[in-house]
Structure 1
């Protein structure tokens, strides 16, 4: 069976940045399992997976626009530290949810100095070209229940009720 919209894909992967550093991998873990076409993966990788079948292996490089987007310096702000007074402890690398003019958004604390905190609303992988090595393990049709719930169920169901 070929990968298409609404198929359940099981795959092993490794992803590297343009400095050839491994950012993430399923090595030594269970394969990643998802319903294709529901936006679980970055758009460029979903497109590369189309028409592949179980047993296929491939490498692909995804440009930022089809991965986590381009980096926007306008999403970096230097804020007075008092803005964070209601948070017990803050540290560099911490992810927070913030209310913005565009709704709730994830931000990362990138720098803490005396009276100021620098936050970044870009995804940490924004602006980075990503290279994937992929092995397709299994492809099957999603069940009607999986499609209704929008996620893959393990044997015996998903453990929640709708």
Structure 2
């Protein structure tokens, strides 16, 4: 092989390798960039989504009042549909599957303040003939507004004093929440 051709051959080989290295770097950069843009942020719960959560609810003294873990089944509800107390509903917004959080809900965010106007004295005849109202017991009754639950707080021969406040009215509630699944509203 002639020196002139050999130099030209080496020059071309060097030039080709140089350009191939540049092309290879560009190709790797494109693959990396595509991989970065392809990764998605995890879906988070928003209004209208159907979600499942596991939770434990406690009072401030640590007493457990409810737990989906104990029932062995997550709670399912539609976020923002008014199916849950307001603070619990709001706590789930923005959570991703697997997220856990602890929230402390004031009475206003839960079942409201205890309201003395919801304590009333009624005629004992609202109870069935062979039913004796017992102080501390909870009963249900059908009214013009639908079913109401009430707790008997006093009884005499002709009247019964009942409290129609929710049993957790006026209480601060604590929840440990874990988001189990999200079924988006637009799916």
Tell me if TM exceeds 0.5.
Answer: yes
2:120 is equivalent to residue 99 of structure 1: no
How far apart, in 2, do the equivalents of 1:129 and 1:4 lie?
25
What is aligned with 1:15? 57
TM superposition shift of 1:65? 0.7
Cα 1:110–1:9 shift into 2, 3 Å: same
2:75 is equivalent to residue 32 of structure 1: yes
Cα 1:69–1:38 shift into 2, 3 Å: same
TM superposition shift of 1:9? 0.8
Residue pairs, 1:113-132, within 5 angstroms: 113-115=155-157, 116-132=159-175
2:5 is equivalent to residue 5 of structure 1: no
Query: Which structure shows the higher strand fraction?
Result: 1
2:154 and 2:162 in contact (8 A); partners too: no
Residue deviations 1:36-93 (CA, integer Å, cap 9, x gap): 1111111111111111000001100011111111110111123342342x45424442
Larger C-alpha radius of gyration, 1 or 2? 2
How far apart, in 1, do the equivalents of 2:141 and 2:186 lie?
34
Superposition RMSD in Å: 2.1
Matched pairs, number: 141
**TM-score, length-scaled by structure 1:** 0.77
What is aligned with 1:156? none
How far apart, in 2, do the equivalents of 1:36 and 1:54 lie?
14
Gaps of 5+ in 2: 1-42
TM superposition shift of 1:109? 2.8
Cα 1:125–1:55 shift into 2, 3 Å: same
How far apart, in 2, do the equivalents of 1:87 and 1:65 lie?
38
Query: Which structure shows the higher helix fraction?
Result: 2
The correspondence for 1:59, drawn from 102, 121, 141, is 102
What is aligned with 2:93? 50
Residue deviations 1:117-155 (CA, integer Å, cap 9, x gap): 2211111111111000011111121477xxxxxxxxxxx
1:98 and 1:107 in contact (8 A); partners too: no
